[in-house]
Structure 1
Amino acid sequence: MSDNKPYFHFTLGPVQGFVAQARRTRDFWAGSFLLSWLAGVAICAVEKQGGEIIFPIPNQNFLDAILGKNKEAKPQQGGIPNRFMADISNCQKFDGNAVTNAVKQAWLAIADKVWEKDRQGLEQQGYPTKEIWERQNNNFWDMSWVITEGRDTSALDKRKNFRTHTTSVEGGYKCMMMEGYQELSGASDKNSGKKRRNYWVNLVQLIHSKDIGETEELCAIAYIKRRFVHTFKDVKKPIEVNGNTLMIHGWQLPHNVPSVAYMASVPWLKNLLENQNYMDDFKQVLNHIDEMKYFSDVDINERAESKNHVKTIQQIINDTKIDLKEISLDGNIYYQTFWDNIGNFVADKQNYDGKIDDYRPKIKSALSKLYEKMDDFEPSPYYAILLMDGDSLGKQMSHEARQPIISKALDNFTQQAQEIVRNNDGFLIYAGGDDVLALLSLDDAIKTANQLRIAYADCFAQASNNETKVHSTLSGAINYCHIGMPLTQVLMDSHDLLDNIAKDGVGRNALAVRVWKPSGQAVQWAMPWEKVVDNQAVEKIVQNLNLDGIDKNSSVIEALSLAISKQKGVDKNLSIFSTGFFYKTRELMKMLDEMMQRNELSEKQASKLLLAEYLQSGNFRKIDEEKQKQLITIFEILIEQSKNYQSEIDDNGKASIDEKSGKQLTGDAGILVRILGQKGLGKGDKA
């Protein structure tokens, strides 16, 4: 029997324009959280009218917090998808416009609280800030909805093609975070530079907060993202929804979140804090920082909220007898290069008084001694952005019998994803439905992605029944980014990497990886999950090199990076698999691949030529025969990871390797292995 009941479909945006445009991790997190909160308000407005959310199942803890019912731990990360479908057949009357109005009123409630708190700084005489504030806040959100007879999941996409949202007309100088939006001072004539600077310097002083940098010029939307955490707990607003009153609430949120430098330094920090022999040297670094602060106006080591550290570091801080409350969530202080740039401490270099010049060399020297004490272990300058998304769910949703199973599976996965990221010392930005977005260290990203992929498949297997079985796969994108890279750029790139490389390029059920240096993209590599995690290949690596500490479920790339990092030639300071060797091999692979495409060379012949090149490398011939055989096996596995394998997804969501694929070569696997093995600390990797 066909389903002729009425269904309400809703979507809220702009997602990319709001979440991904960020200058700090705090902006990134805030955008995701606020989008989830507003989507939750939309769901509450539907339920207030008698509607029932069918897909996806929303996070009840999040909804209860919005309604003021939740007395226990309230959500700290985004977890409500920006799109949903509701059964409205039991509604006596239903008004879709009441839902969009509720979202607008909820946003303005947040904006009003921020304005009230910072009015003295925002509303400076002679500036049109209030006019800009109201214009941008009243016109930012883009919402679409449609009511269908039956569960036509494509109807909303068709509706979105008829654009009715009109953005505000923006003039003047633009926001440094949100592209296209005017900054709040509104000073825009030819000689307005000094007037703008004065506005923002005065604002920072008047609001008594370091949330806004004196050189930052932000629009209303970006300003709210940066400041709303201080007033969100005070949000309590009644909203009229089709003749009913919906009371929405905010709650207490963290004021500090980990910086990208902190996430990059997590493995180093764990090593530091787990060994009490390093504590005296570490305290010397902190003492020099305190001295600099005492004799100057600089304040760079904000005291962290310990509950916002990653799991392992938080446990060490809680359990240790040593007072480690001063561990900063701004990891920049752990890098020597941070202390080289005076611009990190002084906004106006022209009027710099030179007070801190005596202290910066002391801090760098203390850090150098600490690195040496830790066996030359220094923090990696690379962190990871992990973005994951389910494959072909739209096609699966077209089968009505599969919809309840998909909804149940995604609800279970959302809960598991939060724990998986936390247990791997990641900072979760968002987990809702089939989407996950998180920051991790270079060491933890691939294994976290793999654990999420396994959990996702398990959730669908558990939700399926004998009559209806639903299969779905999870694709992932990892951007390894230097801490000096602009955050917005790599966030936007993560979506390109996932959509165009992992999904469209490899065919889904895949992992795609890029490494970004400050000079640009260094490497790109992508592979179906069946090849990313090959237990037999990992076992060969472990057995041939007698490696400890490698889980058989590790990715081949991770196992190779560990194996290669441990292989030394006759000269103990020179690795057999040198950086130069990998770059040379990549160029050779390009040439061989061109010959293969012209049918001048077979795949087997190409592999033999690559192996012959490897056998000619200088250090290789100095190794005994048994060791040579072991290393040949490793190199053969590396060649396998350098092929262009692709996935196939059938109509039921099952994935397999495309048997026609794997006939081309790329040398990027070797470069990736080298960078991971050296933790981004190899010669030329830091630049």
Structure 2
Amino acid sequence: MKNAVILFTFSPVQSFIAEARRAEDLFNGSAILSQLARAAGEVFKSKGDLIYPAQLGENDAPNVLVARVPADKAETTASRAREVLLKRWQEIAEQARKRAQLDEDDTWRQIWQRQIVDTPPWQIYWAYAEEAESYAEAYQRARNLLESVKHSRLFSQSHEEGEKDSLSGQRSALHTAAHSSAREYWKRMASKPHILPSQVHPEGREILDGIGLVKRFWEGAEREFPSTSTVAAWDFYQAACAQAPQELQRYRECLETVSPRLYQARKQDKIFPYDGDLFFAETLTARRLKDSYNVELPQAELENVRKLLKALVDKVGKAPSPYYMLIQFDGDGIGKKIDYLLARDDAENAHRRFSQNIGAFSNAVRGTINPNQGGFLIYNGGDDVLLLASLERGLQLAIELARTYQEMVGDGFNGFTATASAGIVIAHHLTPLSKALTLLRSAERRAKESRADSLGNKGVVCLTLAKRGGEALSARSAWEDVANFHQWVKAFRQKDLAGVFPYALAREAATLEALPSEATRSLVRYLVQRHTGERVAKATCEQWADALITWADNIRKRTNDKSGLTEVAHWLIAARFIASGGAE
């Protein structure tokens, strides 16, 4: 009996995830995608041989599946996978709907039916080819067919009228006929006792469509995900647990006493179950507590809460950083690598081993990215990883991921290397998440625009520093040149390197790079020595200057950036910012 190779995929992915105003939207959107992919993958696994992903375990399932099934069952198997995926979507949506317990009428149900059932957000594609000659030949034909199908507009569109939802800004917000507007409807829904401010912003400032409702109220992910405020304050919280446990407990007890209605965003945390937003003094104002928590405190009680927070901050010795990192990590040139492997005599086994290596990397990601290390995993789909991280730990976690990816994914193939690139954004915890995600996509694209080898390897990271109220600043570099980035952070933190140095280097960069190389080296050494503390030896200054020049040369070689020194200066500005905890 002949076999067939099936390629199965669905979309949208990036836009579905990016429709997020809160970290939990981001997390639930990613978890839903994984649930749908896993449901389809189980069908292929039961009817044949699932090749990619290598396993459907604890990691997130990718939205592209590759399977080998009997040729006479290929069509029915792919159709069944589609049915199961859509059924799982309906189950998730109904779970969220029942949990929300909103007011419904015929108008409400018509919108829900249109958005969730009649025209669900998913565009599902598949293609298969019989193994006439070999696995490699069938895979390539199926891939070509799939690309042709994806370029055809086979999906229906629906007309969305009225006020649009807050997450996408494109679809009709849910409402009933009894309310004059969707905003009035959601103002009333937000006031229901069982609906928390973390689910729907009070006073009608947030209106949801069917898909937004699913993201907010589905609990199938089975774990809480922290807000961007919690992630930004994470390093402070860990320091408070270690250095000021009594002050932390007194602060918590005060919150419990003065406001029993203050919702516990992190119920699983026995030490401090509240959102990290409450570690920031600017949260403890009457207006912010009303807007964010729907809580009103008498002025005397509010002053007492602020006093206890100040005592906690004083004991720790520093205030929490208002900034966090958002990291998108993606394997380079996957398609080119598969082409390379399919050209081998052992094409099928090579492809399987490549899938297994990616699965092994995913397992390693779960061990690396965890709250103990300041990392919070959103999506772990093999070569595609999305996470939030604290300001102090984020870049080092990304460096560790890049190193692990290179070691594991290319393992077992002679002369075969595998790199990943990443976009990283440093964002303020109150910056709209949609804006941070837009900057993240731009950073990832810029990293991916770097020069590639024959296997599509780039190995570049692009970091964007988005100060609140200021213009975003970006810098690119190969991973190996940022491996010791923490040393520059340390130099600024210890005042060995003056905080004005990166700006001085940025001003002079274009002039310096127009000079002969030895003149450039001499002047960079002079700039470094001029901006170092007295305890820094001249030899160390020269080493630092030479390292910066080498870094700039490598940036020019690996990217299309002509001014490597400008990029280096931007990296140093980011190092200075991290050293200050974002407290500039």
Q: Do Structure 1 and Structure 2 share a fold, with TM-score over 0.5? A: yes
Aligned to 2:334, which of 376, 379, 393?
393
Q: What is the distance in 2 between the residues matched to 1:32 and 1:386?
A: 14
Question: How do 1:291-330 residues align onto structure 2 when only pairs under 5 Å count?
Answer: 291-293=257-259, 299-302=262-265, 304-306=267-269, 325-328=270-273, 330=275
2:441 corresponds in structure 1 to 495
1:202 corresponds in structure 2 to 188
2:155 aligned partner, one-letter code: H
1:305 aligned partner, one-letter code: Q
Unmatched segments (≥5 aa) in structure 2: 131-137, 453-457
Aligned to 2:467, which of 517, 521, 524?
517
Contact 1:20 1:28 in 2 (8 A): yes
Q: 1:521 to 1:558 in 2, by over 3 A?
A: farther
SS of residue matched to 2:377: strand
2:555 corresponds in structure 1 to 645
SS of residue matched to 2:75: coil
SS of residue matched to 1:437: strand
Q: 1:55 to 1:609 in 2, by over 3 A?
A: same
**Do structure 1's residue 259 and structure 2's residue 227 form an aligned pair?**
yes
Q: 1:392 Cα deviation (Å)? A: 1.0
**Do structure 1's residue 223 and structure 2's residue 221 form an aligned pair?**
no
Unmatched segments (≥5 aa) in structure 1: 62-74, 233-251, 307-324, 533-554, 569-575, 648-656
TM-score, normalization: structure 1?
Answer: 0.74
Q: What is the distance in 1 between the residues matched to 2:193 and 2:128?
A: 46
Question: How do 1:456-495 residues align onto structure 2 when only pairs under 5 Å count?
Answer: 456-464=405-413, 470-495=416-441
Q: 1:559 to 1:347 in 2, by over 3 A?
A: closer
Deviations 1:584-638 (A, max 9, x none): 3312214444xx2xxxx22432333333344455x75xx36x6344334334434
Q: 1:643 to 1:366 in 2, by over 3 A?
A: farther
Q: What is the distance in 1 between the residues matched to 2:360 and 2:328?
A: 18
RMSD: 3.0
1:128 aligned partner, one-letter code: T
1:562 aligned partner, one-letter code: K
**Do structure 1's residue 151 and structure 2's residue 139 form an aligned pair?**
yes
Q: What is the distance in 1 between the residues matched to 2:293 and 2:368?
A: 44
Question: How do 1:362-441 residues align onto structure 2 when only pairs under 5 Å count?
Answer: 362-375=304-317, 377-398=318-339, 399-400=341-342, 401=347, 402-422=350-370, 424-441=373-390
Q: What is the distance in 2 between the residues matched to 1:257 and 1:658?
A: 36
Aligned to 1:135, which of 108, 114, 119?
114
**Do structure 1's residue 343 and structure 2's residue 288 form an aligned pair?**
yes
1:22 aligned partner, one-letter code: A
**Do structure 1's residue 604 and structure 2's residue 550 form an aligned pair?**
no
Q: How many residues align?
A: 554
Q: 1:502 Cα deviation (Å)? A: 1.4
SS of residue matched to 1:202: helix
Q: What is the distance in 2 between the residues matched to 1:264 and 1:179?
A: 27
Contact 1:380 1:679 in 2 (8 A): yes
Contact 1:643 1:662 in 2 (8 A): no
**Do structure 1's residue 588 and structure 2's residue 502 form an aligned pair?**
no
1:634 corresponds in structure 2 to 544
Q: 1:517 Cα deviation (Å)? A: 1.8
Q: 1:516 to 1:116 in 2, by over 3 A?
A: same
Aligned to 1:82, which of 63, 66, 85?
63
1:35 corresponds in structure 2 to 33
Between Structure 1 and Structure 2, which shows a larger proportion of helix residues? 2
Deviations 1:145-171 (A, max 9, x none): 112240113442332111212232211
Q: 1:156 to 1:603 in 2, by over 3 A?
A: farther
2:236 aligned partner, one-letter code: W
Q: 1:204 to 1:678 in 2, by over 3 A?
A: same
Q: 1:644 to 1:416 in 2, by over 3 A?
A: same
Q: What is the distance in 2 between the residues matched to 1:659 and 1:203?
A: 52
Q: 1:274 to 1:615 in 2, by over 3 A?
A: closer
Q: What is the distance in 2 between the residues matched to 1:404 and 1:446?
A: 31
Deviations 1:500-549 (A, max 9, x none): 221213542112111112224442111112322xxxxxxxxxxxxxxxxx
Q: What is the distance in 1 between the residues matched to 2:451 and 2:495?
A: 32
Contact 1:88 1:94 in 2 (8 A): no
Aligned to 2:200, which of 187, 212, 220?
212
Q: 1:559 Cα deviation (Å)? A: 1.1
Q: 1:675 to 1:117 in 2, by over 3 A?
A: closer
Aligned to 1:112, which of 94, 101, 109?
94
Q: 1:390 to 1:107 in 2, by over 3 A?
A: same
**Do structure 1's residue 673 and structure 2's residue 557 form an aligned pair?**
no
Contact 2:505 2:566 in 1 (8 A): no
**Do structure 1's residue 528 and structure 2's residue 478 form an aligned pair?**
yes
Q: 1:283 Cα deviation (Å)? A: 2.7
Deviations 1:568-589 (A, max 9, x none): 5xxxxxxx512x3432331221
Q: 1:668 Cα deviation (Å)? A: 0.6
Deviations 1:649-668 (A, max 9, x none): xxxxxxxx689988664321
SS of residue matched to 1:54: strand
Question: How do 1:51-62 residues align onto structure 2 when only pairs under 5 Å count?
Answer: 51-59=48-56, 61=57
Q: 1:84 Cα deviation (Å)? A: 1.2
2:498 aligned partner, one-letter code: F
**Do structure 1's residue 285 and structure 2's residue 251 form an aligned pair?**
yes
SS of residue matched to 1:9: strand
Contact 1:301 1:333 in 2 (8 A): no
Q: What is the distance in 1 between the residues matched to 2:501 and 2:306?
A: 33
1:249 corresponds in structure 2 to none
Q: What is the distance in 1 between the residues matched to 2:230 and 2:293?
A: 26
Structure 1 stretch 34-43 or stretch 471-480: which is displaced more? 471-480
Q: 1:81 to 1:118 in 2, by over 3 A?
A: same
Q: What is the distance in 1 between the residues matched to 2:257 and 2:291?
A: 17
Percent of residue pairs bearing the same amino acid type: 22
Aligned to 1:272, which of 240, 257, 261?
240
Q: 1:338 Cα deviation (Å)? A: 1.6
